[in-house]
């Protein structure tokens, strides 16, 4: 399967000249990148390069001091994370950020909260609309549970699940929101080979079946080169490479950053 066969569309997310500072420390310096609809874009780079900061900027957790983000052609003002969610951006976290006291099912249902319209009074009475809504969304969530093959643990509190499954549930929670842009922060970190293969399969299937655009951070170069349409390389908060996997692999600056050879 090649990139061209999946009819990659026009630019979905356009990040221009982003600079992010924490006090005196520059986490990101003048970064621009574009993600096109339906593609899988990987952000790579050594630890501390600013990859997670980049995702945090995209979904509104951090607010850059300079630069402009355009999503679906609409320039964005300073916004809160929940507003980004409303625009269809979902994500997973590097250190799993599941709701530990809740079951797998409830975690996934939380992903659909945005789409639930009944008021809390209707929910308290659980009359008509509220119950119908709950059932509708339960069905959607069950489809994701089937897709991720986690049926057997749906009622288990997530805190009790092994690490690999937790990562899967977190992906499920993001998917439940039916995002148009999915940000994955090291979805395969700490997994064994088999779990990685499963996760790769899920990412590719999501991209393929739901047409979701994906931006992911990953350290495993084999995985990155295999599944990405487009790779962005960061180092010390600066962008040092951007292009198709093949191009990036041969970029001397990227090789230097990874192998530490002198310029």
Partner 1 sequence: MIYRESGQFKTSYRADQAIFPIPQDRYALFALLAFAFIAVPLGANDYWLGSILIPFLILSLAALGLNILTGYCGQLSLGSAAFMAVGAYAAYNFQLRLPELPLLLDFLLAGLVAAAVGIVFGVPSLRIKGFYLAVATLAAQFFIEWALTKFGWFSNHSASGVISPQPMTILGYTLTTQADKYLLVLGIVSVLALLAKNLVRSATGRAWMAVRDMDVAAEVIGIRILHTKLLAFAVSSFYCGVAGALWAFAYLGTVDAQAFDLNRSFQILFMVIIGGVGSILGSFLGAAFIVLLPILLNLLGHLFGGAVRQDVLSNLELITFGALIIFFLIVEPHGLARLWQITKEKLRLWPFPH
Partner 2 sequence: MELIFFFEVLVGGLLAGIMYSLVALGFVLIYKASGVFNFAQGAMVFFAALAFVSFQSWGWPFPLALLAALATMIVVALATERVVLRKLVNQPPITLFMATIGLTFVLEGLAQLIFGTDVHRLELGIPDDPLEIQGMLISTFDLIAAGVAALLVVALGVFFQYTRVGRALRAVADDHQAALSIGIPLQHIWAIVWAVAGFVALVAGLLWGARLGVQFALTLVALKALPVLILGGFTSVPGAIVGGLIIGASEKLAEVYVGPFVGGGIENWFAYVLALGFLLVRPEGLFGERHIDRV
d(CA 32, CA 242): 10
Which listed option, partner 2, partner 1, none, makes contact with residue 129 (CB within 5 to 8 Å by class)? Answer: none
- Closest approach, Cβ 102 to partner 1, in A, equals 5
100 forms part of the interface with partner 1 (CB under 8 A) = yes
Q: Which lies closer to partner 1 via its Cβ, residue 36 or residue 138?
A: 138
Q: Which lies closer to partner 1 via its Cβ, residue 186 or residue 242?
A: 186
111 forms part of the interface with partner 1 (CB under 8 A) = yes
Asked if 90 and 34 count as a contact pair (C-beta separation under 8 A), the reply is no
Which listed option, partner 1, partner 2, none, makes contact with residue 113 (CB within 5 to 8 Å by class)? Answer: partner 1
Name which of residues 80 to 119 contact partner 2 (CB under 8 A): 93-94, 97
159 forms part of the interface with partner 2 (CB under 8 A) = no
123 forms part of the interface with partner 1 (CB under 8 A) = yes
61 forms part of the interface with partner 1 (CB under 8 A) = yes
201 forms part of the interface with partner 1 (CB under 8 A) = no
- Closest approach, Cβ 105 to partner 1, in A, equals 9
178 forms part of the interface with partner 1 (CB under 8 A) = no
Distance from the Cα of residue 131 to its chain's centroid:
31
Angle 197-107-84 from CA coordinates, rounded to 5°: 85
Which listed option, partner 2, partner 1, none, makes contact with residue 22 (CB within 5 to 8 Å by class)? Answer: partner 2
Which listed option, partner 2, partner 1, none, makes contact with residue 131 (CB within 5 to 8 Å by class)? Answer: partner 1
Asked if 207 and 38 count as a contact pair (C-beta separation under 8 A), the reply is yes
Binding interface with partner 2 (CB under 8 A): 22, 52, 56, 61, 93-94, 97
Binding interface with partner 1 (CB under 8 A): 59, 61, 80-82, 84-86, 90-91, 93, 97-102, 106, 109-114, 116, 118, 120, 123-126, 130-131, 134-135, 138-139, 142, 173-174, 177
């Amino acid at each position: 399967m090649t990139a061209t066969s999946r009819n990659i569309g026009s630019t979905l997310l356009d990040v221009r000249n982003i600079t992010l500072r924490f006090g005196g420390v520059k986490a990101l310096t003048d970064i621009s990148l574009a993600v096109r609809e339906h593609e899988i874009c990987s952000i790579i780079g050594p630890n501390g390069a600013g990859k997670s900061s980049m995702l945090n900027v995209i979904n509104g957790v951090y607010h850059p001091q300079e630069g402009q983000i355009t999503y679906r052609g609409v320039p964005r003002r300073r916004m809160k994370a929940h507003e980004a969610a409303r625009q269809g951006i979902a994500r997973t976290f590097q250190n799993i950020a599941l709701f530990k006291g809740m079951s797998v099912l409830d975690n996934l249902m939380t992903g659909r909260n945005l789409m639930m319209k009944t008021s809390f009074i209707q929910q308290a009475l659980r009359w008509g609309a509220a119950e119908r809504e709950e059932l509708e969304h339960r069905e959607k969530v069950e489809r994701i549970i089937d897709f991720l093959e986690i049926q057997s643990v749906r009622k288990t509190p997530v805190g009790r699940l092994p690490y690999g499954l937790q990562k899967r549930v977190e992906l499920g929670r993001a998917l439940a929101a039916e995002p148009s842009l999915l940000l994955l922060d090291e979805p395969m970190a700490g997994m064994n080979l088999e779990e990685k293969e499963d996760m790769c399969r899920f990412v590719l299937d999501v991209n393929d079946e739901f047409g979701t655009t994906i931006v992911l951070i990953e350290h495993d170069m084999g995985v990155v080169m295999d599944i990405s349409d487009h790779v962005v390389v960061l180092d010390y908060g600066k962008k040092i490479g951007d292009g198709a996997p093949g191009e990036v692999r041969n970029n001397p600056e990227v090789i230097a950053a990874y192998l530490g050879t002198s310029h």
